[in-house]
Amino acid sequence: MDVFEPEIFNDEGEKQQKLNSLLKQIKALRLQPEDRYEIAALLESMGWNDEGARKNFGVTDIFELASQLWEISKSNIIFSPFHHIEKTGFVQGLYLLISNFLRGVIFALPMAVSVFSMITLRFSLWSYENLSVELATAIAIGTILSFVTVGGFMQAIARRGFFYITQNYYGMARKVTFQLIIIGIFACLVISACLFFGNALIQLFPFGLVLIIILYYFFLNTIWLSVTVMYILKKELVFTGLIIIGIGIVYLLFVVFAYNIIFSQLISLLLISLMSIGLAVFYFRRAEAKAEKGIEPKLPKMSVMIYNTMPYFIYGFLYFAFLFVDRVIAWSVNSTFLPYLIWFRGDYELGLDFSLLVLLIPMGIIEVLLFKLMINIQQSQKNYWGQDIDKMNRAYVRKYFLRLFFIFVVAMFSAVFLYYYLGIFLDNIHPALGKIIYQHPVTHFVFIFSLASYGFLSLGLMNSVTLFSLSQPQKVNRAITIALLANLLVGFLLSRWFGYKFAVIGLITGSIVFFILSSRQVYKVMRKLDYYVYSSS
């Protein structure tokens, strides 16, 4: 890099002019240096040293020169003018809040539909109340593997898809989305082949069960990948409709035509997966047709895309591993003779399935709070003077703790509400199921602790989406990695010492750890919010 040519200044005005000129050169390298030390490093990279600083600016060394430039830089920020902010009208604001709340709730709605179907019809798209334990084990393994495998791809698709869609580059969003879907499907095929040939070498399951695992695994993978497309295109309700159609197909084949439940579900999963992919293509093409035409840049190299999305991919894998690791621990406890390495335990699973409903309302509230947070941050950038940055950061720290307390109250209220009113609902619809949930010692124990677990998990999820919105996925990954290890260690030890139902203690321990560590990370970010907003822009 060229060295700044030294000049002799005749008066303070000329010196100030040259300082401003030097600062412009520095800002060409770094638009907003973090502090005086970064300015000093930039000066050295430009060829400045202590001798040049003394000769040309009359300072003792390069750090004093950097300090003067830092003060000028701050004053430039202080006296930048405000921008006029157009206030959102009451009706428009209310509409945005309701739509964002429904967006959060709708994303969790398929889970509620599946649970309701199990209560009323005794089956859903991928489960059945009267399955043999052997078949339930195979389906559960396929389901868990599908979430863990494609969780990373789902996060990567959501991240890159949103990135291009917000810039109105629907063509690029479609290309990168289907690139990731193809890679995800290829990964599923590779894992399916490994399962098949690995089991042929070391027979852990009979051939028929392995085939069922692979079929459920592959079709569910396809569905989860396509639902992510629905989410980024804001068509979540369409996916809920597909789940309902899929359950209807199972009903038609299983109840009306009396086919085997496994056959009925597999045919339904095949049709729904094909419909999901077809609708994903259709909605992307329609969005592209409606978007403003313009020149779209080329997609970055695959290596660059992988680098940018890898933190989100890792989070998706860790998150679903966290959700399911306690089940695997509980199902592998060898308290009695187990035919296979993992053996489905319905009494444990039942308590977890119904407690997941506690996430419905908090997820909607989280979506609203995140929307308001990002709007407020955009306005604060334009409404705070430079010298008030610390004041702005402190205000957002206070707002963060208020939001955290609010979500805590909502989550705990949802847990208590679900505990009491689910029993009333089941007494009228499915009394036998209600008796199991509230009177069976294992199911009731798991139900209570998993309700609390998912309540704390919702707090961690609020922290996660906050950090994601400020492009800080590494901070989320650090928190959830430690939480996963806590879940695994506590659940494994307690389940082996006291019984398989205590694996759920690992879940609540991990959820609390995730909540605490992610809260700590958000607190650190909010204390320097101006820096993180700048770095994410």
Model confidence pLDDT, tens digit, residues 186-208: 999 999 999 999 988 888 888 88
pLDDT at 291: 66
Q: How far is CA 200 from CA 177, 192, 204, 227, 418, in A?
A: 35, 12, 9, 33, 45
pLDDT score of 509: 97
More confident residue, 105 or 279: 279
pLDDT confidence of 5, banded at 50, 70, 90? very low
pLDDT tens by residue, 435-447: 999 999 999 999 9
Compare 305 and 144 and report the one with higher pLDDT: 144
Predicted pLDDT at 507: 96
- Dump pLDDT digits (tens) for 62-98: 878 888 877 777 655 444 444 444 555 545 555 555 6
Which band of pLDDT confidence, cut at 50, 70 and 90, is reported for residue 360? confident
Helix, strand, or coil (residue 128): strand
Q: Rounded to the nearest 5 degrees, what angle is found at the Cα of 321, between the Cα atoms of 209 and 210?
A: 10
* pLDDT in the model for residue 83: 45
What per-residue confidence (pLDDT) applies to 277? 85
Answer for the pair 115, 354: CB distance below 8 angstroms, yes or no.
yes
Structure tokens at 78: 């202080």
- Give the pLDDT score at 169: 78
Which of helix, strand or coil describes residue 335? coil
Cα dihedral across residues 136, 137, 141, 142: positive or negative? negative
Is residue 189 within 8 A of residue 318, CB to CB? The reply is: no
The pLDDT tens digits for 149-196 are 988 998 888 888 877 887 777 888 888 888 889 999 999 999 999 999
Q: Quick count: other Cβ atoms within 10 Å of Cβ 220?
A: 25
Check residue 176 and give its pLDDT.
Answer: 87
Percent of the chain whose predicted confidence (pLDDT) is above 70: 81
Token digits of residue 275: 């419909």
| Residue, of 501 and 18, whose pLDDT is higher | 501
Give the sign of the dihedral formed by CA 420, CA 422, CA 423, CA 428: positive
**Phi, psi angles (nearest 5°) of residue 141:** -65, -45
Nearest alpha carbon to residue 366 among 128, 100, 130, 179: 100
pLDDT of residue 79: 40
- Between residues 294 and 234, which one has the greater pLDDT? 234
Instruction: In whole angstroms, give the CA distance from residue 48 to residue 433.
Output: 77
Six-digit token pair at 257?
A: 């035509």
What pLDDT, on the 0 to 100 scale, is given for residue 446? 95
Q: Look at 95 and 485; give whichever has higher pLDDT.
A: 485
Task: Specify the pLDDT at position 383.
Answer: 57
Give me the chain's average pLDDT, please: 81
What secondary structure does DSSP assign to 243-308, as a single string? HHHHHHHHHIIIIIS---HHHHHHHHHHHHHHHHHHHHHHHHHHHHHHSPP-PPPPPPPHHHHHHH
- Tens digit of pLDDT for each residue in 400-437? 899 889 889 989 999 999 999 988 988 888 888 889 99
Q: What is the pTM of this model?
A: 0.78
Mean pLDDT of 390-398: 80
d(CA 534, CA 537): 5
Distance CA 476, CA 460 (A): 9
pLDDT at residue 355 tops 60: yes
Residue scoring higher pLDDT (205 or 112): 205
Q: Which two tokens stand for residue 271?
A: 């049709």
pLDDT of residue 302: 75
Dig out the tokens for 84 from the structure: 């006029």
- Rounded to whole angstroms, the Cα distance separating 469 from 373 reads 10
Strand, helix or coil at 123? strand
User: What DSSP character marks residue 4?
Assistant: P
The pLDDT score that the predictor gives to residue 336 is 67
Which pLDDT score is estimated for 2? 43
Q: pLDDT tier at 101 (50, 70, 90 boundaries)?
A: low
Tell me the pLDDT tens digit for each residue of 250-275: 999 999 999 999 999 999 999 998 89
pLDDT, residue 245, reads 92
